[in-house]
Amino acid sequence: MEWVKSEDGSYTAFSSEYNEHYHSTKDGALNESLKKHIEPAFLCHKDKKHLKIIDICFGLGWNTLATLYYRDIYFPDTTLEIVSPELDGELVASLVDFPYPEIFAPYKTIIKALSQEGEYKDDRTSIRVEITDARIAMRELIGSWDVCYQDAFSPSSNPALWTREYFADVARLMGEEGVVTTYSIALATRLALYENGFHLYINSGEGYRSATIASKMVLEPFEQVNMEHKLRCNPDAVSLRDDSLR
């Protein structure tokens, strides 16, 4: 695995299998994780004392570790339950040697436990990394979850994790106030979420490319995507479907 320094100084990697970086090298691995996933997730759930998060997919672990970092700084009283499916067990096992930034130094024990045993638990934090196909994990998972970090490789190279049927499983797992955060702004992605009952919002700001938040509830702080208008302007738009993958 080749590690690559991204523009904010944090490291990501390049996957030759998917021919893609694990993060936007321009936005930066840490910056992308915080801006596109962690900050909006905590903003939407700022009053919750226990947060249940699905992290699709664990990859280099940035989203899970940045969640711990952000919680410890801004929401130290919030307890976390994180489940994260990931196909690549060898990658997860290798993460003890990954060049994480100094701010993740307090999580060395957690990184070791996740890479060696696939789970970690203390009074405030429970994390389970499941080495499995996220499609199967989402079908089998039960309960009501607050957040889903939708961070698979892109829809063109990893389409099975962007279909209408996949998002139906995600929708079933999201509670009344559940939010899905994703870097994808593709109309097909937004449509697949919309067809599963989500409202769509634009997550934009300085220092990162715009992203999407999908929510079961109406979100005041974010600008809504007018899906009716988009669909009138793009009458041929379709979401990805499982049967188109065969």
Ligand X SMILES: C[S@@+](CC[C@H](N)C(=O)[O-])C[C@H]1O[C@@H](n2cnc3c(N)ncnc32)[C@H](O)[C@@H]1O
Give, as ranges, the residues between 30 and 59 that touch ligand X (CB under 6 A).
Answer: 33, 57, 59
Give, as ranges, the residues between 133 and 192 that touch ligand X (CB under 6 A).
Answer: 133-135, 151-153, 158, 160-161
Distance of closest approach, residue 70 Cβ to ligand X, in angstroms? 13
Burial of residue 135 (number of CB atoms within 10 Å: 0-12, 13-18, 19+): middle
70/141 Cα distance (integer angstroms): 26
CA atoms within 13 A on the CB side of 90: 1
Dihedral sign, Cα of residue 156, residue 159, residue 161, residue 164: positive
87/131 Cα distance (integer angstroms): 5
Q: Which is nearer to ligand X, 88 or 195 (CB)?
A: 88
Q: Which is nearer to ligand X, 91 or 147 (CB)?
A: 91
Number of other residues whose CB lies within 10 A of the CB of residue 67 = 25
Distance of closest approach, residue 151 Cβ to ligand X, in angstroms? 4
Residue 22 is a binding residue for ligand X (CB under 6 A) = yes
Can you tell me which of 44, 54, 60, 186 binds ligand X, judged by CB under 6 A? 60
List the structure tokens of 100: 């994480």
Number of other residues whose CB lies within 10 A of the CB of residue 155 = 19
Q: Which is nearer to ligand X, 135 or 241 (CB)?
A: 135
* Residues sharing a CB contact under 8 Å with residue 230, sequence separation 6 or more, in sequence order: 187, 190, 237
Can you tell me which of 6, 24, 63, 212 binds ligand X, judged by CB under 6 A? 63
- Applying CB under 6 A, which part among 43-51, 104-112, 129-137, 189-197 lies near ligand X? 129-137
With CB atoms as reference, the residue minimizing the distance to ligand X is 59
Can you tell me which of 11, 42, 62, 208 binds ligand X, judged by CB under 6 A? 62
Would you tell me which residues interact with ligand X (CB under 6 A)?
22, 33, 57, 59-63, 85-88, 91, 133-135, 151-153, 158, 160-161
